[in-house]
Amino acid sequence: IARVTNKSNVRTWSNSRGDGKLFSFEIVDESGEIKITAFNNEVDTFFSLVEQGKVYYISKATLKVANKKYNSLKNDYEMTLHANTSIVPCDDGQEVPTVQCDFVPIAQLENRDKDAVIDVIGVCKSAEDVSRITTKTSREVSKRALHLIDRTGKVVSVTLWGEEAEKFDGTGQPVVAIKGARLSDFGGRSLSVLFSSTLMVNPDIPEAFRLRAWYDQEGFALDSQSLTETRSVGSGAKMNWKTLSDVKNEHMGHGEKADYFTCLATVLYMRKENCLYQACPSANCNKKVVDQQNGLYRCEKCNREFPNFKYRFLLYANLADFGDNQWVTCFQETAEVLLGHSAETLGHLRDTDETAFNEVFQKANFTTHIFKNRVKLETYNDEIRVKATVMEVQPVDHREYSRRLLSNIRRLAS
């Protein structure tokens, strides 16, 4: 008698020896866990019967040495179903455990070997949007990155694939437990959910309850450190919250290296008159082109003329919080997020529908966001000034932001 903790989809194969299909599932009881595989006719017999989370009486299956290439469980054996195998649902299985996990603290992932298969649990601080990539076999697959934090204060990026990536909902920053994730050293330390992994959202286990309580009381306010490198000062990187007056009073950006800060601010004004420029259409070039007035556009960097161009954003905006204001520069990606339109769309509107073009900016004015910024001294027309560049724009999670403010108040009061 055992509980099904993980069930795969049906997979098919075709080779010189013929065609076939299989599915596998994992079961657990008080003594441990084991993997079971069904082939061909047994797939038709048992696939619809076996359900994840249910308890069954299982008998007359074959035991064999586990193939560790396809089996990450801590069991030296695995089972195979046959025509005379019996699987009967058990209605009285409340005492059978739901899952067995050996969770590794996120901070300890730095000390584990590459490609190790581990169990991990954490609060999902943020979840990126689903993207689609093309594999080496020219197959398109969905992927999504989660950023998990635990009581060690460390954050790790976890990649979900396929249907799990598409269905995952990070609303409310759920506790996520993963059994059998593979550890990678790509971009620092990161995890990937495998075909054989088990993903659990808000699982009914003591570790999840303790983690939820810790995060709601204090973990949400931590300036966490990520084990996974990020392309920007994004999720998992140190936030370095500042007010705009802090930035000026602390002379941020006046050192040899750039400074980074995060702020909650409202858009007061955007210079729409010169927010777009005509750029080189080459994939890896964004230089401004010169209109030759003969239907061609010249890029000095590429030393070529083109019959077309692409629009790029160079948007100047004035941001304000309760104490000060700051001019910032938004390049392509951040300007598109702020305005909600691509540069090509705005360029077309500017050329064809001035009213609609103006409405885009009116709609974006007086909206409030979280801005992650870079500040650095620069020289322009022999004048030295601090330049602030927006690296990332995020929507305001008011629940999370209020928690951070309450935590700061408690810290100041003590």
Task: Give me the pLDDT at residue 238, please.
Answer: 53
| 308 in a structural domain | no
Residues 113 and 138 both lie in one domain: yes
Average pLDDT over residues 143-151: 92
| 188 in a structural domain | yes
**In this structure, what CATH number is given to the domain that contains residue 184?**
2.40.50.140
Residues 190 and 134 both lie in one domain: yes
* Partners of residue 132 on adjacent β-strands: 142
| 57 in a structural domain | yes
Residue 389 has pLDDT above 80, yes or no: yes
Highest mean pLDDT among 47-61, 119-133, 208-222, 390-404: 47-61
* Partners of residue 78 on adjacent β-strands: 64
Domain hosting residue 158, numbered range: 106-223
Residues 269 and 388 both lie in one domain: yes
Q: pLDDT tens digits for 91-107?
A: 888 888 877 888 999 99
- The average confidence (pLDDT) of the chain is 89
Residue 157 has pLDDT above 80, yes or no: yes
Residues 248 and 210 both lie in one domain: no
| 289 in a structural domain | no
Task: Give me the pLDDT at residue 401, please.
Answer: 82
| 286 in a structural domain | no
Residues 254 and 213 both lie in one domain: no
| Of 89, 119, 145, the domain-final residue | 89
Task: Give me the pLDDT at residue 235, please.
Answer: 40
Residues 168 and 113 both lie in one domain: yes
Residues 71 and 136 both lie in one domain: no
Residues 263 and 398 both lie in one domain: yes
**Closest alpha carbon to 148 in 261, 228, 230, 238:** 228
Q: Which CA distances in Å does 255 have to 244, 258, 329?
A: 18, 7, 20
Task: Give me the pLDDT at residue 186, please.
Answer: 67
| 291 in a structural domain | no
| 382 in a structural domain | yes
Residues 72 and 152 both lie in one domain: no
Spatial neighbors of 28 by CB under 8 A, at least 6 apart, are 2, 3, 5, 96, 97, 98, 99, 100
When divided into structural domains, the chain yields a total of 3
| 387 in a structural domain | yes
Hey, how many other C-beta atoms are within 10 angstroms of the C-beta on 382? 5
- pTM (predicted TM-score): 0.52
Q: pLDDT tens digits for 212-260?
A: 999 988 888 776 677 775 443 334 345 688 999 999 999 999 988 889 9
Residues 250 and 345 both lie in one domain: yes
Buried b (16+ CB within 10 A) or exposed e, 350-365: beeeeeebeebbeebe
Task: Give me the pLDDT at residue 358, please.
Answer: 94
Residues 63 and 197 both lie in one domain: no
Task: Give me the pLDDT at residue 237, please.
Answer: 43
Residues 18 and 145 both lie in one domain: no
- What are the structure tokens assigned to 145, written together? 């990155």
